[in-house]
Structure formats: C-alpha cells, structure tokens
A = this chain, B = another copy of it.
Amino acid sequence: MKLSTQPYKGTRDFYPEDKRVQKYLFGVWRQVCESFGYEEYDAPILEPTELYLSKGNQEIIDEQTYTFEDRGKRSVTMRTEMTPTVSRLVAGRRQELAYPLRWYSIPNLWRYERPQKGRLREHWQLNVDIFGVSGTSAELELIQIVDGIMGAFGASAEMYTIKLNSRKFMDYVLSDYAGFEAKQRLELARLIDRLKKMPYDEFVAKVDAIATPAQRKDGAVEKLLTVLSAKTLKDLPKDLQSYASINELKVLLSALDQLGVKNAEFDVTVMRGFDYYTDIVFEAFDNNPDNNRSMFGGGRYDGLISLFGVEPLPTVGFGMGDVTLTEFLRGHRLLPDLVSETAAYLALVGDVHTGAQKLAAELRKAGMNVAVDLSGRKLGDQFKIAEKKGIQNVLIVGENELKTGQFTLKNLKTGKEQKLDVKGLEKALS
C-alpha cells in the first residue's frame, strides 16, 4: 500500500518557507501584545464537549466541530474558539489572579467546514483578553493593540477600518425603541448583519415582511430604518443620543482619535456573531475593494465566567486569525521577503569535516547560525544546495583556510566576495 503525502483535507502543512511566514506573524503578535503587558497562556486542544454546550447548541456541535468519545466514554471536542477555554482558566483561579488581567494566546482551532478560500478546518488565532475592567479603557487598550499590530505589519490607516457598535444599544433599539418581539429581533439582527451585502430596497422589503401590520402602523420599521441610516453617532435620533452605550462609544472614539487611531468609526450594522457579547463590539474590515470583508473582531462579554459558578468579571477580548490576516498582508503587498534563519552555508573543500565543525562551533558561540555541508559533493554543487535553501552566504572552508584563519565569504545574492577572519565573519554575518 502506498501512503498519500497529502495533509488531512482542509488543513495545511508548513514546510520551512511556510513556517517562516507563520513565525513572522506570531512574532509580531507576541511582540506587540507583550509591549502592552499581556502575558501568554495556553491550554490543551481537547476540551470536554460540555464547555461548548453551555448555550444548548448541540446542533452546531454535531455539525461543525470535531467531537468524539474517548475510551472512557467522555465526549471531547477539539477547540473551535478560545473564549470558553480562557474563561475556564480564569474561573479556575478567580480569587488568586491579579486584575486587570491581561492575557493572550495563539491557539490552533478546529472546525468541520467544507474547505474554501479563507475557511480551513484548522487555523491559528491570536486571542487577546482583558479581565476586570468595566470602563471603556479596556476597549480602548484592545483597539490600541489592534492598531499596534497592524502598524507593526506595515499597514496604514487607509488600508483597513475598525468599525464599532454596541450590542446592548442594538438590543434596545430593536426591543424598547422600535418595539419588536424576541423572535423578530433574532431575525432582524441577522438581517442587519447582511445589510451591506444586499440592495437597500430588498433589505427594506425584508424588514417589512418581518414586522406585523400593527408594528408597521406604529412606525417600528421607520424607526429602525432611521437608526440604520446613521453614518455617525451624531446622525442618531436625539432621543437615542443619551443612551449609555452611545455615550461610551463617543468617549471611546474620541480617546482613540487622541491616541492617533484615525481609522475607527461607528457602524450601526456591525453585529458580530457570538451570543456572548454584551455591549460594545468591534470588527475590522479590509479596505481593499477586491477583498472588502471582515478580517477580525471582538467585544465585551461580561459575565461569561459565571458559567463555572464563580463571580462574573467584566471582560473584553478579540481574536485575529492567521488565514484572513495573511490574505490582507498579501493583498496590500505587506509580507516581507523572509530569508532563511541560516546566515551562512559552510562549503567544504577536501576532507576538512572536523576542522569545519570546530569553526562552526566557534561561529555558533558568537551567535551565528551556520550549516556545515555534509553532502561531500563538488564545490559548485554545494553552492547550489545553499541557494536552493535560500541561504544568503556561502563560506568556503579548505585546509588552507583553516590553517591561515582567512575565509572567503560569498554573498549569493549580490555576488560580492570578502576575505575575512572569524572576527570579520562575526561582523559580516550578524
């Protein structure tokens, strides 16, 4: 039987050139999060299925996750998102931890999907959460981190937009303000989420169809459409201007502006999918007209940890996936040319293996990454090997070189050759 060399459907192998991109992404994520005082945590990829069942969504578990029974007849699920897990960890040490708690993680997540562009079965996602802050300074900091990360990747404010809204406000608009019932609100929320993806007339017709004659007569549809037509917070009807979440959004947007985040704006159509959000939510969109889609987002989900029987905590978090981010970076030509971590390939002339190993040990001690040829092939072939591996420099090592301590370093990109001793190599290769 001949085995297949393909990875499991909907997943990716990371050959060194792919892993290099991933390490670059993860490195920027880590650096920016840690610069804001966030600490990394992690947890096992298998969780008891109960963790995802808290809202009774057995159907989603059955259809969209990797769930199976272990040999002890316990149902386990490969994690589909990190929020339930981080809530579990915080709840487990609710009393001992020091708040505000700033945590981040870069888990791989699994979903049973029909593989398609940007939707894989396994992807990685940066998760950033702050626990214990009830004011908008929490949202402010997380959006600053988003801005910091995008800036570190070279993205400018024109390339993407951070759109903010409040779930609490929208619930208020749909229920108290416009007067829709619970079941209608659910349908309307889903419809609003797709408003920008359909002709406006079609949207209005659909809202009309959801409303009852009495509601239409009461002006419920008009009220909702007026709210939805607001382009900025100031466009909202006067009687909604003083709603608490709207005031918070004003404070937040003004603080972001002061701190130099110029691409954040109110967008009344931003709803975010997850049920657990309780107030302000945000979502980032690529401004590239060819890829004008949601890239990542987050929001406030106060109280989720109470599922574990502990006191609730104000919490804000966001997630940013590797697949959509990579598409954004490629689309805007922001992915740098990543070269091999190996600074030089030691090409050997004659039987100098032990001497070359000693020289390599010396270079490594001085902090250089060097690979010694073990192919035993001709010098020209050794050059080709280095080139194929994307290593920029070849260092020629023969008996004479080892005796004199003078080595020829050739840059394969520029073709430049230098005669250098070990000290000189340290300078040239660091």
Contact = CB atoms under 8 A, between A and B. Distances in A.
Contact of A89 (B15, B141, B385): B15
One complex includes copies of this chain to the number of 2
Contact of A98 (B15, B19, B135, B385): B385
A100 B8 contact: no
Contacts of A18: 41
Contact of A46 (B11, B34, B354): B11
A380 interface: no
A157 interface: no
Contact of A137 (B46, B47, B374): B374
Interface stretch (A66-74, A178-186, A284-292): A66-74
A308 interface: yes
Given A2-B309, A8-B46, A13-B89, A100 B37 contact: no
Given A369-B37, A371-B36, A137 B44 contact: no
* Residue of A19, A135, A370 with most partner-chain B CB within 10 A: A19
Contacts of A54: 1, 3
Contacts of A370: 35-37
A145 to B, nearest CB: 10
Given A6-B92, A340-B39, A374 B133 contact: yes
A250 interface: no
Interface string A362-402: 00100111111111100000001100110100000000000
Interface in A65-95: 66, 68-72, 74, 76, 88-89, 91-93
Contacts of A44: 7-8, 11-13, 122
Interface in A24-41: 34-41
26 contacts: A2-B309, A3-B54, A3-B308, A5-B89, A6-B92, A7-B88, A8-B47, A8-B48, A13-B41, A13-B44, A16-B39, A34-B342, A35-B368, A36-B370, A37-B369, A37-B371, A37-B372, A37-B391, A39-B389, A46-B122, A130-B374, A135-B374, A137-B353, A140-B357, A141-B374, A259-B361
